[in-house]
Amino acid sequence: MDQGISKTAKAYAREAYEEELELLRRLAKIPAPSGKEGRRAAFVKTWLEEAGADKVFIDPGGNVICRIEGADRHTASVFSAHMDVVAQDEETLPLREDKARIYAPGVGDDTANLTGLLMATKWILVHRPRLKHDMWVVANTCEEGLGNLAGTRRLIVDLKEAGLEVADFTAFDLYLGQHITRAVGSHRWRVEVETQGGHSWEDAGRQSAVESVCRVVEGLYAIPLPDEGKTTVNVGAIEGGGAVNAIASRASALLEYRSARQENLDYMDEKFKEIVRSARTGDADVEVKLIGDRPASLASQLEGQSGLVDLGDEAIRALGGVEPAHQESSTDANIPLSLGVPAHTVGAVSGALLHTREEWIDKQSLEPGLALVLGLMLSTCAEGGQMKG
């Protein structure tokens, strides 16, 4: 890593620590369920404007976008962190802290990473380094759960329709050392069954909606999984029936399968649809609805991907202070990776218990995390020779 960039990033992260900590406290209290990020988006937009952004707006997908001009106006590097959290609270989120940690739903996934991105952007807005091409800083929506990556989908499609070339895409998410280099895709389904139902004794023999749902579940887990590449299945919820002595007339299930290989997802689709067809016996009306579709990485190696990953590894070692661990996962980087755009996801905070009410981050990790974010942004976009070590 360029020594001038490294020195600059570390110095700023030390100086900005208390300011970053206070920003995190404010941001982490603002509710932001997927699809309902409006209050957090308004806060982020105003904060960026006060930090010096003159081109910041909220797009139709709810993303907050800050455009910083570079020499090439037809090409852009995108840096993002998602605003939404798993918690469905629509009132102020609970936050507490002790000497070492801050606790709040979503504080690590992804509020602390978003805070680091905002603080790094503030340095760029104040110092205005010369950039090779445009930089788009994005606080995006709908990364979690059934948000289905809607914010990033909208962003990438709009960029391409505007005729802008996306040079690369960096998402900040998860924990220091985690470097997501391949996209795990998933298909998520809601299965709903309706039957006539009836009395368990008087109408014995009628089709049970619960039995039909169980038949689908049993079939899903019995699918022989592909030999190449990890593929997983999961049934996350089953509901139905009403009484112990009533033949269930309604039942439903939520399920998914995942893989980093698109061909494996296609194979699972075929097998799953066969199972659904076989479950349509008697008077059972079995309907399925695709409620989540996250694409996997392209099968071939993208031009520019290895260089972007190498740059991320260098920044994680030099500024994050940890050894990078390449992983497959499902993040906002899924969308650009599936469209042929070099992309990765880099963690920039330490913590644990994500997706729980007791989620926490280590306050001291904010400093190396901010240095990592700023250093990676400058290494990706800044023209050479500006910052001397």
Alpha carbon 14 to chain centroid, angstroms: 28
Please compute the mean of the pLDDT values over residues 142-162 and round it to a whole number: 91
Tokens at residue 94, please? 């609970």
Is 370 in the same domain as 224? no
The verdict on pTM exceeding 0.95 is: no
Render pLDDT for 317-338 as a digit per residue (tens, 0 to 9). 999 999 999 999 999 999 999 9
Please compute the mean of the pLDDT values over residues 373-378 and round it to a whole number: 98
Residue 343 forms part of a structural domain = yes
Q: Which phi-psi region, left, alpha or beta, contains residue 70 (left: φ > 0; alpha: ψ -120 to 50)?
A: beta
pLDDT greater than 80 at residue 388: no
Query: What average pLDDT does the structure give for the chain?
Result: 95
pLDDT in the model for residue 385 = 56
Is 31 in the same domain as 110? yes
Helix (H) or strand (E) holding 209: helix 209-222
pLDDT greater than 70 at residue 381: yes
Is 54 in the same domain as 193? no
pLDDT in the model for residue 162 = 82
Residue that finishes a domain, picked among 265, 294, 323? 294
Render pLDDT for 269-320 as a digit per residue (tens, 0 to 9). 999 999 999 999 888 999 999 999 999 988 777 889 999 999 999 999 999 9
Residue 387 forms part of a structural domain = no
pLDDT in the model for residue 277 = 93
Domain containing 242 — which CATH number? 3.30.70.360
Of the candidates 63, 2, 11, 58, the one whose C-alpha atom is nearest the C-alpha of residue 35 is: 63
Tokens at residue 232, please? 């997983």
pLDDT in the model for residue 282 = 82
Is 325 in the same domain as 338? yes
Domain containing 59 — which CATH number? 3.40.630.10
Is 52 in the same domain as 139? yes
Is 305 in the same domain as 172? yes
Is 370 in the same domain as 311? yes
Is 103 in the same domain as 70? yes
Is 113 in the same domain as 127? yes
Question: Quick one: pLDDT band at residue 160, thresholds 50, 70, 90?
Answer: confident
Residue that finishes a domain, picked among 294, 315, 347? 294
Residue 24 forms part of a structural domain = yes
pLDDT greater than 80 at residue 243: yes
Is 75 in the same domain as 99? yes
pLDDT in the model for residue 386 = 66
Residue that finishes a domain, picked among 231, 266, 294? 294
Tokens 């023999």 sit on residue: 205
pLDDT greater than 80 at residue 68: yes
Is 24 in the same domain as 125? yes
Render pLDDT for 187-230 as a digit per residue (tens, 0 to 9). 999 999 999 999 999 999 999 999 999 999 999 999 999 999 89
* Of 19 and 340, the one with more pLDDT: 19
Is 34 in the same domain as 134? yes
Percent of the chain whose predicted confidence (pLDDT) is above 70: 99
Q: 252 lies in which domain range? A: 186-294
Residue 377 forms part of a structural domain = yes
Total structural domains within the chain? 2
pLDDT in the model for residue 233 = 97
